[in-house]
Amino acid sequence: MSQALQHLFGIGQLSREQIEYLIDMGESFVELSRRPIKKAPTLRGKTVINLFFENSTRTRTSFEIAGKRLSADVINISASTSATSKGESLLDTGETLAAMQPHVLVIRHSLAGTCEFLADFLPHTSIVNAGDGAHEHPTQILTDLLTLKTQADGYQGKTVTIVGDIAHSRVARSHLLAAQKLGYKIRLVAPKTLLPSHVRQYGCEVFHDFDAAIPGSDVLYMLRVQSERLTDNCAFPSIREYHEAYGLNRKRLAQAGDNCVVMHPGPMNRGVEIASDVADSARSRILDQVEHGVAIRMAVLTALCGAAPEPEKLSPKKEKAAAAMQAQGKLL
């Protein structure tokens, strides 16, 4: 059975089988990046456009490397160099790029739902969400799951303790959705100012005291304090105080079980959410996450570029949009 996807908006849209399929395929791509010649012809003749309205070096680079290692042609567009800075609307930018016939558009935007919005108007382009506001970031969570699978002996029945700026974290949200589908447990640790009250609906445990959450954790997943989104500066008194209460230091790590590993989606703020020696310790899986990120993005691009879904699987809305576009003579 083929598991072809048309778009990847979020972990919420995927079934357990689809998630496991992408993780398994990602696992087999890890080896490709360790070869002397890091290139396979899988996506030869495909075009991937990275459209980033928000800055992101690692996600963009990771998508770019993933596409290039599979022989796709990859083009990067950032908001500062795109026509949006000249006043073009999001929809016009999307339609203009789609008219150049790429197979995949990888989009990062500060607003949740950007990808779904564009997908309704671009029936012939697959869209990957590379982070939309505080909503979802599916390739990051898939990356984390691959790291859990290979470096922490699987995710089934494990307890993943996510610490820090939950309020602004799309990764935390994606983990809450994935945990329910894949059968692992989530503990959230944050000051009340960084923890939205709605998270309890996902059936996770909530802690305000980091030390109480450590025993029994299989993974300590540290989140970056997103100072660029903390505009009013009143979430916590000072960086130093935050580090005291919610930073992972050697003393805290010593309270964790022997097999407990440390993860972080990056970029890290050493000395804020994670102490430098912990980030560099043998428990850290942070660089494995980066390596797995490339492999997962290869898997996602391959799944999206695989056999196209049957026309009847298009949503009625998309069919309408497609018909409208055809009527306007926009398509060949």
Q: Which of 101, 84, 121, 124 is nearest to 48 (CA)?
A: 101
| Residue number, 39 or 250, with CB nearest to other proteins | 39
| Residue number, 28 or 85, with CB nearest to other proteins | 28
Q: Are 143 and 292 in contact (CB under 8 A)?
A: yes
Which residues inside 18-37 make contact with other proteins, applying CB under 8 A?
21, 24-25, 27-32, 35-37
Q: Which of 300, 316, 251, 326 is nearest to 127 (CA)?
A: 300
Beta partners for residue 126, in sequence order: 104
The tokens describing 84, both together, are 């949006």
Least distance from other proteins to the Cβ atom of residue 143, Å: 17
H/E element, 156: none
Least distance from other proteins to the Cβ atom of residue 19, Å: 13
Binds other proteins by CB under 8 A, chosen from 6, 33, 42, 84: 42
Q: Which of 324, 256, 306 is nearest to 42 (CA)?
A: 306
Least distance from other proteins to the Cβ atom of residue 21, Å: 6
Which residues inside 288-327 make contact with other proteins, applying CB under 8 A?
302-303, 305-307
Site string for other proteins, 50-79 (x = CB under 8 A): --------------------x---------
2 binds other proteins, rule: CB under 8 A: yes
Contacts of 19 (CB under 8 A, 6+ apart): 11, 142, 145, 178, 181, 182
Q: Are 144 and 173 in contact (CB under 8 A)?
A: no
3 binds other proteins, rule: CB under 8 A: yes
Least distance from other proteins to the Cβ atom of residue 31, Å: 4
Q: How far is CA 134 from the centre of its chain?
A: 11
Least distance from other proteins to the Cβ atom of residue 286, Å: 22
Least distance from other proteins to the Cβ atom of residue 36, Å: 7
Q: How far apart are CA 265 and CA 10, in angstroms?
A: 17
Q: How far apart are CA 321 and CA 91, in angstroms?
A: 13
Binds other proteins by CB under 8 A, chosen from 41, 87, 311, 329: 41
Q: How many residues of this chain interact with other proteins, rule: CB under 8 A?
A: 27
| Residue number, 70 or 256, with CB nearest to other proteins | 70
| Residue number, 243 or 292, with CB nearest to other proteins | 292
Strands (E), 182-282: 185-189, 205-207, 219-222, 261-263
221 binds other proteins, rule: CB under 8 A: no
Residue type at position 173: R
| Residue number, 36 or 316, with CB nearest to other proteins | 36
Residues that bind other proteins (CB under 8 A): 1-4, 21, 24-25, 27-32, 35-37, 39-43, 70, 302-303, 305-307
